[in-house]
Amino acid sequence: MASLLKNKLVSSLEEAYEKAVWLNPKIRNSLIEEKTLQTIKKKVEESEKAKEASFSVKGKMTGQSDLSKLSTRDLLEFQFRNLD
């Protein structure tokens, strides 16, 4: 960091730190892996949210007690109307 500042290759201490970190191969690889994992995690979370949002419960009844209240004709009509 000192040589970056001394040779005026950077304009601030923060910039010197960023460049020094990036110039170290071990740290750079670690940062790249961390960023990649964060990106993957974010994509998975977005995918799961989209999947949940797109799920439809169309045609499902709330419980068995609802079925017992329907006549056979009503039950058949309901099932035919809700075919996918």
Model pLDDT, residue 63: 54
As a dihedral over the C-alpha atoms of residue 14, residue 20, residue 26, residue 31, rounded to 10 degrees, the angle is 30
d(CA 51, CA 83): 21
Model pLDDT, residue 32: 92
Q: Average pLDDT over the chain, rounded to whole?
A: 82
Model pLDDT, residue 41: 93
Q: Give, as one character, the DSSP assignment of residue 10.
A: -
CA triple 77-80-81, angle to 5 deg? 85
Q: How is the chain split into domains, by residue range?
A: 2-81
Q: What is the pLDDT of residues 14-42, one digit of tens each?
A: 999 989 888 999 999 999 999 999 999 99
Tell me what the mean pLDDT of segment 37-49 comes to. 92
